[in-house]
Each structure stands twice: as C-alpha cells, then as structure tokens.
Structure 1
Amino acid sequence: MKLAIFMDHLDDIDPDIDSSLAMMSHACARGWYCGYFTFSDLFCQDGEVFACVTEIEVDDACQWTEKTGRVQPLRDFDIILIRKDPPFDLAYLYATQLLELVERQGVLVTNKPQSLRDHNEKLSLLHYPEVCPPTLVSANIDCLKAFWQQHHSVIFKPLDAMGGKSVFHVGPEGTNLPVILEVLTAQQTMCVMAQRYIPEIKQHGDKRIILINGEPIPYAFARFAPKGEARANLAVGGIGQVVPITEQDRLLCQQLAPGLQAQGLYFVGIDVIGDYVTEINVTSPTCARQITAETGVDIIGAYLDFLVTKVRTSRI
C-alpha cells in the first residue's frame, strides 16, 4: 500500500500524543510506503493534482526519519488521509477541493473531502438535536444573552477553533458576559455557539470516544478540567483518564453512526459530557494513542485494516 497524509508540518505536532504520527508508524511497520505533505506542497496543473510528498520512516516509538520531498501525482497513492488540524479556513477549503479531484480518480481519500466541507465540527451537531444539549448558534448578542438568561450557566465557543481556544463558561453571575460576546462575535459579525453547561463534566469528565466507520472503540479518554478552569481540553492543562464507555455512550454512537457512514466520515472523535454529544470531530481526531497505551486496544491498526478493506473492495 502507498499512503500519504495531508497534515500540518511535523515541527508543529506533539509527537508524544499525535495520532497522525501513530498512523504513519503503523503503516511503516506493515511495509507500506508512507509520506506526508502540507498545504504549501499541494498543487494542481492542467487538472492533475500533485504534491511534494516527503517520504518518512517512523518506528514503534514514533521517532522518525524524513527523506527529501519528491513531487508525485497523488493519483498514484492508494490512500490519502486528511489529518490537518483546524481552523477550517480558506486554505483548508481549497485543499479539500483539490483532494476531491484525486478522490474522483479512484484514490481513497478520507475523511471524505466534501464531508469535511459540509461537516463543521461544531455546527454538525445541529443535524442531531436529539443527542446534543440545548444549543444556540447566533451572531446576535441580544439573542445570546437571552439564551444565557434562560439557562443561567452557558458555554460560549467559536465555530472554527480547537483545543479549548476562546471557550468561555459564564455562570449565573454573568461575569464579563457583554465583553465576551462582543469579542467572540466580532461585534455581531461572526456566529458563535452557546450550549447549556453540563455539570456532569466535573464528575465524569469530557469524554473523547473514537468511532471507526460508526463503531465506537469500547474505551474513552475522559478529560477533567484543572482546578479553577472550566475547560477540560488537554491543550489547556486538562488531565486525562481512560474509562470504559457506557451503555448511554453506545446509544449516542448508534444515533450518529448512519449519518457518519453515509458521509464517508470513517475516523471520528465525538466529545460526550453526561448524556450529551457536544462536538463531532472529523478533521484530525486524537486520543487514540492514550487509549491504546492504557488498554492495548489497537485503534490505529483497526483503522488501517478498515482502510485496506475499503481499497480492495473498490477494486473488485
């Protein structure tokens, strides 16, 4: 198999936890050709999509050796994984449009480029109102204030960030609410998401559950907020713990699975707090390595097995 990953530069990742690096490690262990490319490496000439792909060898400890980048037509690859981190900006949009051309030539490109465009990691929840907490999306400050007045304890977050960036919890006292909304909405020119605060996060954490083709891994990575912080994201100091998923977690996954499968979203990380899904992460879900380290469940291996089956089935 010949694999390439569209991702951020390796200098910008955390090698101790990055799932994309683990995917390359597993691919190399199977004897696959493995390479990666970034947005600046990608181009299209006369309808043919190319990238300057850097071949990479990654060992079991996720230590790597890079070779000199070489321009290659992407149609020559068996699998291309889209694993670039948000924000989903214009550059990301253009990349999915170019990679969709490669997909049309018979290459397995996943997660599916069109679905990444259609499936904002925050807004996609609106398609599943039965699994998400009370939620409002608006740029109107009065509308957002009314939502807070209704629920008294609310999480406000931008639609295009990750890792807990610019996420605010406003409690019953309403501290700094006007200025928070002015900044997040950029003076009512940008939509933000408001969700009722779910207090179960204190006891059970913010659980990352990974789904492969709609099937959940039986363990989750629960993230707990540090003292004095409402956000549980690892990027802001959250503490993680591997836990078995519950029957309620499975029910939530069952409700999401048909839509995810139909859209070609094969590797997904959902965030669950209490009885609710709060985000559906499709660009570059992580936490696979933490779960595998604690449980021995080979998440990345299972994903690569699934991809191999998809490739072989498409060629029959």
Structure 2
Amino acid sequence: MKCLLLVGAAIAAMLSGPLHAQAADKILNASYDVARELFADENKAFVAAHPGVTIDQSHAGTSKQARSIVEGLQADVVTFNQVIDVDFLVQNGLVSKDWQKDFPNQASPFYSLPSFLVRAGNPKNIRDWSDLVRDDVKVIFPNPRTSGNARYTYLAATAYAKEAFKGDEAKIKEFVTKLFDNVPVFDTGGRAATTTFVEREIGDVLITFEAETRGIAKEYGTDKFQSVIPSVSLLAEFPVAIVDKVVDERGSRDLAKSYLDFLYTTEGQRIAAQHGNRVHDAVVAAEFKDQFPEVRLVTVEDVFGGWDKVQKEHFAKGGVLEQIYGSR
C-alpha cells in the first residue's frame, strides 16, 4: 500500500509539474479600453527580455473588467485607470488591501488627465469646460457606469464647476447635467467613444485621456484632429495590482510582479511616454517634456476627499452621478 501511495504521489507530481511551469510562463493582464496599443508595445519589450513568456491581454472599461474578474476572468494582473475598480477587487477578496504599497507612486506607474480632441481648425472654438455646455456643442465620452475614463470626465467637469460656481451645489449639478445632456450617445468604453467621434463623425469634441487624444492626432493626422488642453483637469492615475487569488492558484506571482515592475523601468516608462502618458521617471519625463503642455491638475483627494468618499457620494446607488445620469 505504501508503495502504491508513493507511485501515486510521483505520478501526481509529474502531471502537476509541467502544468504549473506552463502556467508560470503565461499571465493575463486585464486593462482599460484605450490602452491596447500601449500594452502591445510594453508586452513586446517585456517578452523580448524574458524569452518563453507570454502576456495575454484583455481590454474593456475597467469597471466592466473588475466585474468580469469577480465573475471568474482569470487575470493575473490588472492595469486599470481608477482606484475604485481595484478596491472592488479588494472587497471581493481577490486583491490585497495593501495593494498600493506593493509598487511605487501608490502603484501608479504613469498618469494622464481628461483632455479634449476637436476637429481640425477647432470650428466650434472649444477651449475649456465651459464651452462643453453650449447649445451648439455635441460632446462624446463613454458611459460612466462601465468606463473609468468617463468617470474621470465626470469628476474633472465637476471639479471645474466647483471652482467656477464657488461651491454652489445647485449650479454645479446644473452644469454637469447640461454636459451630459449634450452627449448624443454613450458608448461602453473609451475606444468605442473614439470610434464614434473619429469614424462615425458624431460630435464636436471627444473627451478622453490626453494619451488617447495624442494617439488619435498622430494616427489620423493633425490636419484632421487637434488636441485641446483645458485650463484645469483632474489627475488620472493608472493603478496596477497583482490579483492575489489568481496568481496563488496558478503559481504565477513571480512573473506577475516582474511584469508590473517592468512598467517602472526606464524602458517601460519610455514606452508609456511614447504613447502619450505622463511618467514619474525623471530622466524620461525630461526627455519628453516638450511634448506635454503644462496644465493645472487637481486631485480626487483635494477636491472630493478621496476615492472612498467619491464612491459613496457620487458613484454608489442613488449617488450624484446616478441622479444626473439615471434617466438616460
């Protein structure tokens, strides 16, 4: 009997070993919708330095991605665009509550801001947030229920209105409601909103991350589109995290950490900057300084009291966002 048990254990080890090794050489990164080209290049560079490794990608609005992971999507890492979607994974026991301590800059390797993209020549003379509530302007941005990109737009517009109307809540809500009224169609994610604006030619201005506006202008030409930086915008951090439950089941923690660490390296930061993201690495930031106009950035912490408060007051059921968006 003892001999049979030993044989059985040996067979089990033989069967599990290769499978475990194979799992450790492949991970899935669940990311936000408009980061496809960015991570195609980040992954290519990482794999070049780690032969035999495979990085698979999944892209969608980050709120949708977070729900998919809770429902079973086997993502080893997430590279999201808002903190509350990572916190949603924490609440569901998938990510460590101390995830922001695992990597530098509160686990945000690079950042951006909500910015505008207009058609060549800026025919509607759109310069700032105040122009977006005019009757003659149609605005394109995605559904804030599924898109972190759109939630940043909502928060940035609200932050602008708080300053413009000196905290008058009724006027702030009226301003943001008018902005939403000027949106003819709400797509599920940032890339779909880009398609609506660029290819379907709907709307006068697209609001999306600065990185996306720069990418569009580069791809289609400045003779067709141009970016506009508003007077003030909101710091959009792009948090990353290891999905602990998945990597522990798959034995992929070491590879997952190495992959996210790579985003902080000089090479990883340079790739991010080349794709229109602002970076923390001082050398790379200096290298790309001329490509990024100065802009006054406010933060969720300073304007809204932090992400926990934002979630409760604005994004929870019955919150301010639902009051504005709920009838649409």
TM-score by length of 1: 0.26
Bigger RCO (CA 8 Å, 6+ sep): 2
* Structure that is richer in helix per residue: 2
* Structure that is richer in strand per residue: 1
TM-score by length of 2: 0.25
| Structure of greater Rg | 2
